[in-house]
Structure 1
Amino acid sequence: MKRKTPAKAQAKAPSLYPWRFRTLVFFIGIAFVGLILRLAWIQVINPDRLRQEGDMRSLRTTSTQAVRGMITDRNGEQLAVSVPVEAVWADPKTVYESGSIHNERAWLALSAVLKVDIDVLKRRISNPKKRFVYLQRQVTPAVAEYIKGLKLGGVFLRPESRRFYPTGEISSHLVGVTNIDGHGIEGIERSYDQWLTATAGEQRVRKDRQGRVIERLGVVKEGKNANNLTLSIDQRVQALAYRALKRATDENKATSGSLVMLDVKTGEVLAMVNTPSYNPNNRGQYQSFRVRNRVVTDTYEPGSTIKPLILLSALQAGVTSWKDHIQGGPLYIGAKQIRDVSIHSANNLFDILRYSSNIGMSRIALRMPAQEMINTLSLFGLGNDTGSGLIGESLGMLPQRRRWSDIERATLSFGYGLRVTPLQLASAYATLANQGKRVPISTIKLDKAPRGEQVIDHNNAKAMMQALEFVVDNAIPKAKVPGYRIGGKSGTAKVAVAGGYGKDYMGWFAGFAPASDPRFVMVVVINEPKGSAYYGGAVATPPFAEAMGGVLQLYNIRPDAVPNAPPPSLAQMEAAVVPHT
């Protein structure tokens, strides 16, 4: 029999929608509607603030690394390259907030690897308000990896590059050097700084919390790629020249020495060296007297090396000829006597050059106006820019006067009263060896030879070349190169000091080879030799012969000297020269 539920019990059964449940549902609904409205406000009506907050956490601007252009010689051998290194920097605020400032052991290790005193490091990060300070620039990758392992909070690394010069001191004066920020401060590095410099670009990226790039959003700033530079020098010739010059300056205990070699046809610089030199990879050797490129910055009185140019001026003016007989005997100009070092009398142009006669030169110079000589020297490039493009190049000094005394004209004719750089004199002799055609000097490799300008009569130039070959054969044996015909002129000048001239000398030699068809011109200067010899024919000719012999063989130039042939006589030379027409 089925049991019936009492009516009272049925009345107390729970209701399906009690008031408390309805209240809860009501408030949940309000909250849900509020969330929907808030989401709509944030994402639809006013999304900028949320987007800004997200961008602040993920958007970054990164810079591309700017690598400086490479410098090479004419054969592609590297002279200056940029190698990757790292810069160590710190964020002092992060250092203090992370607590790494108290990690003494790690800071001592950092001090040791950077070779910076610990107190100096601590002073650099002592201001917790700073956000950036360099601890060390241009550390090697190995040091950078060690620093990463220290895990010092607030100490970071950033990539940069460092200039490296594979040829060291051999090419340092011409190539130059950069500062720690990668800008040229000497030589080619400075002259072509804009050409070699790259500009870093900037791009916008999005990163995740681990710092990984997850999206590239576009370029903010376009960068500029660096340009490479090919120089005219041949590093093999440069090494030969530097070795010969260094030996000469050491043996003669000279204050300094300079050597420059040019290609006669193109005007390209094949070698340019100085002593003392410096290693551009060692900034501790950076001293003003070492880094100066004396070939272009220093000026000297050229002494007897100027005599061929003055004689060409006289030939051009028609005041003398190769068959002219020059009066001998002593020469007085006012109260001053012009003297010769040689005891031989010079009665013609060949003997004037062979014996380097100041008396003979003075007698010819007194036949013509001084301005005639100055104009000819200017045509050869003296007193003018050579066109090398090197920073700091001196123009030298050609005297300009309204009135010239006889003694001033006389001393000008044998190389006193004017100043030239070794490069200017080399350019002048290259013009002579190029049969009177002058081409601008270039330190950059050329695609083709320039046209040049005919500045003197080519017949007179050819005759002077023959005369200078006669000079080497008969008076300057140390300048000879076995198997080749050499032409040139030595010179010796006193070093000018305040109020006059001191006791020191400088020795010059300017020459060309092979004399049958000149290809190379070289000028050597030995400044203030302290040994027993000081004449240019004794101190400047050995490095010339060594370097010139090396380059003639290196370029496989065919020997043009007749084996065992005696030097031509004076009569033969007089018969061989071509008179001015």
Structure 2
Amino acid sequence: MARSKRQRKDAGGPPFWRLAVVMVATAGVVLALVGRALDLQVLNRDFLRDEAEARHLRTVAISAYRGMITDRNGAPLAVSSPVYSSWANPAEVLQEEGGVAELARALGRSEADLREYLERRKQREFVYLRRHMPPDLSAQIRSLDIPGVNLQRELRRFYPAGQTAAQLIGFTDIDGRGLEGVERALDEPLSGEQGAKRVMRDRLGRVIDDVELIREPRPGEDVELSIDRDIQYLAFRELKRAVHRHRAESGSVVVLDVHTGELLAVANKPSFNPHQRAQMDPEARRNRAFANAYEPGSVIKPFTIAAALRSGSVSPQESFDTAPGTMRVGRHTVRDLLDYGELDLAGVMQKSSNVGAAKVALQTPPRELWQVMQDFEFGAPSGVSFASESAGHLDASPPRGEVRQATWSYGYGMSTTPVQLARSYAALANGGVIRPVTILRQEEEVEGHRVLDEDIAQQIRSMLETVIEPGGTGVRASVPGYRVAGKTGTVRKAVAGGYSEDEYIAMFVGYAPAENPRIAVAVVIDDPAGEAYYGGQVAAPVFSEVASGALRILNVPPQAPPSGMPRIVADWEEGRYD
């Protein structure tokens, strides 16, 4: 009887307390889940939203168009164009089977090299694969559709003038910041201001929606230069021919509007292709017209004579005996190429007599000689804001001693740049008024200040015209249809311990038309090789071609007979070069 009761008790199921425990535990779990859901979705819903946005919302920059650089007639010299750059999330690309190999083939890289590049950066979420891709490559990358590989729109700078104006215009880095030339000097107005927007990306990093515009991009300002593209091309072409013909180390040509101080052309050789940064030679990037300072040699003689005339120490009709072609000044010997005998001031200029120039200088008070060089701003920068510009060199005080005074008279012991030479001759062309040099187009004639009486400037002009006439050192600088005023110069290059016996700098600086000047042109050819190395042989023909073409481009009517100045070369055959 007792056993049967026990059996009935066991058959009744588990004890009540166990069932209660299970039910309470289950209810607790349910309540916890409901509470957590309520907490996340109602009480703290901002947390989930912030977490989602942190993973999918990004603020990205909107590129601002860099301002266009044009010549004085609106022809483009530097423009920005949209291109695509490719970037990747390294970890995602490495996880994709075959992705690295496909990507390497498209980019023209070895698979091992690309894999190593990505492995080293796998902790990052963003690395560039290639910047500023050509359109066909960006389309190919897009078609691969490899997870973790994306395209980003950017702006790339293009230079339609290429190497003809490379040093002048300069270039930007890959992020659009100006590094050289006008691009650097005017970087702030050209750059503008980047915009910003918030976008939503998917798990592969691709933009799927524009959420919010934070800031509109502000495009950079367009800049209109004073340069004339046609004159620039002409100057570069003629300079390139001369450098190649004479196997010279380098050269520069500067063309300046004498009325406004505007630079119409600044050409340098060697040059470079601004689109091929990897192949840029640092020396080719050098804007030699601004950065290289040379001893000016005989092209300084007009200012020596101007100082003498201004001081009254020499009269226009005075003559100087240059025989026998040499002259002792202290321990220094001044030499001419030939014995020119008796020369007046015009003869000293025409024959480029060092002996005559030295005698003129030694009759001139040293302070007056120095002051004229100061007034014409030798040893002073041009005012164009190029970081690489040289100021040249002029002593801070008048020359001490006769040797220094004599060597100054024919351009040794000081240095100047091609731009400074063009500026000083433009002042002579302006009747003794010097104007600031500018690279920006000017709507009106720029006011300058007088540094030389107009009558003395006219006398100097008449003397400079004789240099181009038969018997002068600059016959090859003549321009058919126009009268020209100018001066040749040939300088021995300074080397350790003195001056080289076989390295020279050939120069010609002048202006045209002589009677109503419009342009000043400076030509400098550094270290021409071979038998022809004088300024009258090497630089003067470049002046002739550049001035002739520039005057036609500027629509300056001829004033001389169409046949131009006769090219008599008897003096050349006898070796009477400057």
Q: 1:123 to 1:565 in 2, by over 3 A?
A: closer
State how 1:108-147 maps to structure 2 within 5 Å: 108-127=101-120, 128-147=122-141
Give aligned-pair identity as a percent: 40
Q: Go from structure 1 to structure 2 and tell me whether the alpha carbon gap of 1:185 and 1:214 turns closer, same or farther (over 3 Å shift).
A: closer
Q: For the residues of structure 1 that align with 2:453 and 2:549, how far apart are their CA atoms?
A: 32
Q: For residues 532-543 of structure 1, what are the structure 2 equivalents within 5 Å? A: 532-543=531-542
Aligned to 2:551: 552
The 5-angstrom pairing of residues 27-176 of structure 1 reads: 45-56=43-54, 59-96=57-94, 99-100=95-96, 102-103=97-98, 106-127=99-120, 128-176=122-170
CA distance in 1, matches of 2:89, 2:411: 64
Structure 1 residue 375 and structure 2 residue 371: aligned? Answer: yes
Equivalent positions of 1:435-454 (< 5 A) are 435-454=431-450
Q: Is 1:247 the equivalent of 2:241?
A: yes
Task: Read off the aligned partner of 1:355 and give its amino acid letter.
Answer: K
In the other structure, the counterpart of 1:561 is: 560
**CA 527–346 in structure 1, closer or farther in 2 if over 3 Å, else same:** farther
Q: Give, in whole Å, the separation in 1 of the partners of 2:152 and 2:562.
A: 66
Bigger CA drift: 162-171 or 433-442?
A: 162-171
Amino acid at match of 1:293: N
CA contact 2:481–2:564 (8 Å) conserved in 1: no
- Could you tell me which amino acid in structure 2 is paired with residue 240 of structure 1? L
Q: Which residue of 2 aligns with 1:418?
A: 414
Deviation of 1:234 after TM superposition, in Å, equals 0.4
C-alpha distance in structure 1 between counterparts of 2:429 and 2:110, whole Å: 61
Shift of 1:499: 1.0
The 1:214/1:529 distance shift into structure 2, 3 A limit, reads closer
Change (3 A) 1:374 1:112: farther
Say yes or no: does 1:487 pair with 2:485.
yes
- Taking the aligned partners of 1:130 and 1:50, their CA distance within structure 2 comes to 25
Deviations 1:1-26 (A, max 9, x none): xxxxxxxxxxxxxxxxxxxxxxxxxx
Q: CA deviation at 1:249?
A: 1.1
Of residues 394, 398, 407 in structure 2, which corresponds to 1:398?
394
C-alpha spacing 1:407/1:58, structure 2 compared with 1 (3 Å):
closer
Separation in 1, partners of 2:123, 2:275:
36
**Residue 308 of structure 1, CA deviation:** 0.2
Distance 1:208 1:325, change over 3 A: closer
> Secondary structure, in 3 states, of the residue corresponding to 1:171?
helix
Q: Is the 8 A contact 2:84 2:152 kept in 1?
A: yes
TM-score by length of 2: 0.86
Unaligned runs of 5+ in 1: 1-28, 568-581
User: How do 1:458-469 and structure 2 match up within 5 A?
Assistant: 458-469=454-465
SS in 2 for 1:87: strand
- CA distance in 1: counterparts of 2:258 and 2:60, whole angstroms: 51
Match of 1:347 in 2: 343
Q: Give how far 1:212 is off.
A: 6.4
Which of 422-431 and 223-232 deviates more? 223-232
Post-superposition shift, 1:399? 2.3
Identify if the C-alpha distance between structure 1 residues 482 and 402 changes in structure 2 by more than 3 Å, giving closer, same or farther: closer
Residue 256 of structure 1 corresponds to 250
8 Å CA contact 2:467, 2:487 repeated in 1: yes
Out of 426-435 and 337-346, give the one that drifted further: 337-346
> What is the CA–CA distance in structure 2 between the aligned matches of 1:31 and 1:535, rounded to whole Å?
102
Contact 1:206 1:217 in 2 (8 A): no
- Shifted more, 160-169 versus 230-239: the winner is 160-169
Distance (Å, rounded) in 2 between the aligned partners of 1:530 and 1:364: 33
Post-superposition Cα deviations, 1:367-423, rounded to whole Å, max 9, x if no partner, equal 123232121111111101111222210000112457612111111101111111011
Residue 209 and residue 255 in structure 1: after superposition, are their counterparts in 2 closer, same or farther (change >3 A)?
closer
Residues 257 and 53 (structure 1), Cα distance of their counterparts in 2 relative to 1, 3 Å cut = closer
Q: Offset at 1:364?
A: 1.3
Cα distance in structure 1, aligned partners of 2:91 and 2:209: 28
In the alignment, residue 550 of structure 1 is paired with which amino acid?
Answer: G
Following superposition, the deviation at residue 531 of structure 1 comes to 2.1
Structure-1 separation of matches of 2:170 and 2:315: 46
| 2:328 alignment partner in structure 1 | 332
Match of 1:190 in 2: 184
2:363 pairs with 1:364:
no
> Does residue 1:473 correspond to 2:466, yes or no?
no
Q: Tell me: CA distance 1:545–1:215, structure 2 relative to 1, closer, same or farther (3 Å).
A: closer
Residues 537-568 of structure 1 deviation map (CA, whole Å, 9 limit, x = unaligned)? 1110111111111111112111111467989x
C-alpha distance in 2 between matches for 1:297 and 1:323: 39
Q: Is the 8 A contact 1:208 1:214 kept in 2?
A: no
Partner of 1:202: 196
Q: Which amino acid aligns with 2:186?
A: Y
Map 1:201-350 → 2, pairs under 5 A: 201-205=195-199, 216-219=211-214, 221=215, 223-330=217-324, 331-350=327-346
Unaligned 5+ residue runs, structure 2? Answer: 1-26, 567-578
Provide the aligned C-alpha RMSD in A: 2.7
Q: Which AA in structure 1 matches 2:488?
A: S
User: What's the offset of the Cα at 1:46?
Assistant: 3.8
Task: Check whether the contact 2:480–2:565 (CA below 8 A) recurs between aligned residues.
Answer: no
Q: TM-score, normalised by structure 1?
A: 0.86
Who is 2:497 aligned against?
499
Query: For residues 282 and 460 of structure 1, what CA distance do their matches in structure 2 show?
Result: 50
Q: Is the 8 A contact 1:342 1:355 kept in 2?
A: no
Q: 1:89 to 1:36 in 2, by over 3 A?
A: closer
Measured in 2, the distance between the counterparts of 1:206 and 1:163 equals 29
Distance in 2 between the 1:565 and 1:395 partners?
37
Residues 409-452 of structure 1 deviation map (CA, whole Å, 9 limit, x = unaligned):
11110111111101111100001101111111001112222211
The number of equivalent residue pairs is 535
Give how far 1:332 is off.
2.0
Q: 1:32: how far off?
A: 12
C-alpha displacement of 1:181? 2.3
**Quick one: which amino acid aligns to residue 494 of structure 1?**
R
